Amino acid sequence: MAEKVLMKGNEAIAEAALRAGCRHYFGYPITPQTELAAYMAKRMPKIGGVFLQAESEISAINMVYGVSSTGKRVMTSSSSPGVSLKQEGISYIAGADLPVLIVNVQRGGPGLGGIQPSQSDYFQATKGGGHGDYHLIVLTPASVQEMADLTALAFDLADKYRMPSMLLADGTLGQMMEPVELPEEDPHLIEKPWAVTGTKCAREHNIINSLYLVPEVLEKSNEDRYERYKKIEDLEVRYEEYMMDDAEYCLVAFGIAARVAKNAVVALREQGIKAGLIRPITVWPFPKKVIREAADKVKAFISVELSMGQMIEDVKLAEECRKPVYLCSRSGGMIPDPEQIITLVKNVEGGM
């Protein structure tokens, strides 16, 4: 077993990306993800990689598009306002079926918002974000260890399904330090015959493109992509269940909110209230099935979020109106504390 090291979440992502074979990073300064870019700036030149500080988030994502077109692993990272700027490029990347990794270390919004942690880009991340019909694979770490583990997984899934993946973290996870066991240097690189690498005058030219002016053709390309999405929804859903066996109150939370929720579950159990937690690790694909199954057993769901209530809509869709769903959230950079969750669950139990 590898040795554990103490790292910031942002740095763990960077190191894990290097170990996953990523040698190209493009970014633009923004708080609270700067350590990631700084780490890449320091390391890339030492290992023959490319770090480039782009003139804008827009350029950074288009540089990512360029590298991915050549078949190599590539990533960018940013925080909420910067990720909004990247949406045009992300839509093109999805339309051209390119595998890339985008990291969003979320901060509060809308607009310039603040620099404190948030989960209020949930809609943007899980529903497409830019124009057109598409999805990203969205992974949500809840610890520095998962920042590292899910980075490697995100690259693999992006390559496997030829689509962009996103690591949806937040300012707390980005900034906090925890012991982490870094993944082995073992990139699962695959052949990419579609890549542009020069024809060597030995094959037909490859074209990386998202333009289809014939509507029947564009529709077909969307349908093909959604076939793949269907497969991902069947095969790649990831979640953690915590004390759900006999739970009557099901908290649903991801990322940093899930850690608060876990504490609340323990405290509630100590007080004789059977609470449990479903923690989505993928928020697209969303763990619909486990929530639907829980709906037959629990009395209520409580969506715990760092937003005004975004994931709650997916919880409601997943549980199919079987049980009431309540929201327990803070926004703008505030984090719900266990007490807020406990109070809400007690009120629900008391017939709120």
Partner 1 sequence: MAVVFQKPHALTDKELHYCPGCTHGIIHRLVAEAIDALQIEGETIGVAPVGCAVMAYDYFRCDMVEAAHGRAPAVATGLKRSLPDNIIFTYQGDGDLASIGMAEIVHAATRNENITVIFVNNAIYGMTGGQMAPTTLPGQVTQTSPYGRDVATAGYPIKVCELLSALDAPAYIARVAVNNVKNVRNAKKVIEKAFQNQIEKKGFSLVEVVSSCPTNWGMTPEKALQWVEDKMIPYYPLGVYRDKTAPAEEKEA
- C-alpha triplet 281, 9, 66: angle, nearest 5°: 80
CA distance 330 to 288: 24
Strands 325-329 and 275-280: unpaired
Among residues 344, 302, 300, 304, which one has the least CA distance to residue 322?
Answer: 300
Q: What is the DSSP string of 222-235?
A: HHHHHHHHHHHHHH
Residue 125 identity: A
Residue 242 identity: Y
Give least dist CB 167 to partner 1, A.
20
Task: Kindly tell me which of 52 and 176 has the beta carbon lying closer to partner 1.
Answer: 52
Question: What tokens were used for 24?
Answer: 């190209």
Give least dist CB 50 to partner 1, A.
5
Residues that bind partner 1 (CB under 8 A): 24, 26, 50, 52, 54-56, 58-60, 62-70, 72, 74, 88-89, 92, 96, 196-202, 205-211
CA distance 287 to 88: 27
Give least dist CB 310 to partner 1, A.
27
Task: Kindly tell me which of 196 and 243 has the beta carbon lying closer to partner 1.
Answer: 196
Among residues 162, 40, 35, 19, which one has the least CA distance to residue 96?
Answer: 162
Give least dist CB 208 to partner 1, A.
4
CA distance 202 to 222: 30
Task: Kindly tell me which of 1 and 201 has the beta carbon lying closer to partner 1.
Answer: 201
Give least dist CB 211 to partner 1, A.
6
Q: Does residue 37 contact residue 18 with C-beta atoms inside 8 Å?
A: no
Task: Kindly tell me which of 77 and 172 has the beta carbon lying closer to partner 1.
Answer: 77
Question: What tokens were used for 316?
Answer: 């409601």
Task: Kindly tell me which of 9 and 89 has the beta carbon lying closer to partner 1.
Answer: 89
Task: Kindly tell me which of 46 and 205 has the beta carbon lying closer to partner 1.
Answer: 205
Give least dist CB 225 to partner 1, A.
17
